[in-house]
Amino acid sequence: MSPTAKGLILLCRPGFENECAAEAELLAKHAGISGRARTAQNAGSVHYVFDELIDWKEALEVAPFHALVFTRQRSVWIERVAEMPEDDRVTPLVQTILGQGVRFGRLEVETADTNDAKSLAGFLKRFIPHIERHLKATGFLRENKPELPTLHLFFKDSSQVDLGLSRPDDASPWPMGIARLRMPRNAPSRSTLKLAEAFDALMTEEERAQSLKAGLYAVDLGAAPGGWSFQFAERGMHVFAVDNGPLADSLVATGMVEHVKADGFSWRAPRKQVEWLVCDMVEQPARVAQLVSDWIASGKAKRCIFNLKLPMKKRFEELKKCRQVIDARFKLHGDSYVLRIRHLYHDREEVTAYLAKIHVPVVETPKPSRR
């Protein structure tokens, strides 16, 4: 028997619970599912509770992970184990997991990304190996089986845990959606981690293989001190780094970066085939959305990653406005495009987006053969 879903477990950056809840509510409404969000300020998590139980696989389609912006990780909530006794927390949790009748290929242990939740680290380090041992012994945890779902254990504290399910191809690849990347030794700024995370979070493996190759050209608008240009230079790509501010000497010394002292809104690239446009300028989100959509829709660059610095209030509404700006620009000529947006772990008040035009292949009219 397939488990039923109580709702969704959504993890987010503390302070973004309202936006996380708003997009879950909008997606559920479009799917014809009614429910309500339960959260608290700076909780770092949202439970979107369905008014009626539904099959867990159907619940996955209510809010596909790729459609979520402010959610770092999403799983379908199937059960809660509360008030686990201190003398034996293992038995009730294992029994509840086995009672779901689902075998899984991966176990993810989660908490909210808050200081209070971080205090659970020591407890979980001691506790989880006992759970894994029982689940492997019973055959319910079958590692290296990518076709099986992932089991999420979301701990509120040491006595309460929520069980969630996801598909490996429909969730963040990082535990709790947190990309813990190593800071490159020669990078000019920590902003380089933001672009590195964006490459992995917003692009497919095929897209990365096609576009992050030595010899290609990139344009970095608002480049100083050069954290984003660094990512391209390290891959052997040529970069026009556009900013009136100074670049790191070490970056210029690579010979891969040309510093252009100009305004990013008025400068245009020379007549070269530009693969990439990236933009991390501190500017009104709608203005940035207009700028980058002009570059991509007109063919000045093939693809773009850019940041939208959202206001403290009405973030969800501002993001909707930016989507409309981009959509209107592409509709001028009936062009199709792909737009993926995510509030990355290395983002703060901004969100990061990937934009590319979809080129539809031209099918030639078959010519009659001559006999």
Express each pLDDT in 101-124 by its tens digit. 999 999 999 999 999 999 999 999
> Confidence band (pLDDT; 50, 70, 90) for 2?
confident
pLDDT at site 364: 46
Structure tokens at 337: 């495009």
Of 309 and 2, more confident: 309
- Our answer to whether residue 309 is catalytic in this structure is yes
> Confidence band (pLDDT; 50, 70, 90) for 269?
confident
pLDDT at site 365: 39
> Confidence band (pLDDT; 50, 70, 90) for 271?
confident
Catalytic residue among 272, 309, 313, 321: 309
> Confidence band (pLDDT; 50, 70, 90) for 37?
very high
Indicate if the pLDDT at residue 305 is higher than 60: yes
- What's the pTM? 0.92
Indicate if the pLDDT at residue 362 is higher than 50: no
User: Average pLDDT over the chain, rounded to whole?
Assistant: 94
Distances (CA, A) of 200 to 52, 74, 80, 191, 206: 36, 17, 32, 15, 11
pLDDT at site 119: 93
Indicate if the pLDDT at residue 367 is higher than 70: no
| CA gap 288, 308 in Å, rounded | 7
Distances (CA, A) of 190 to 241, 244, 246, 257, 347: 17, 20, 16, 18, 11
The pLDDT tens digits for 155-168 are 999 999 999 999 99
**Domains in the chain: ranges and CATH:** 4-177 (3.30.2130.30), 192-358 (3.40.50.150)
Structure tokens at 27: 């997606």
CB atoms within 10 A of CB 119: 12
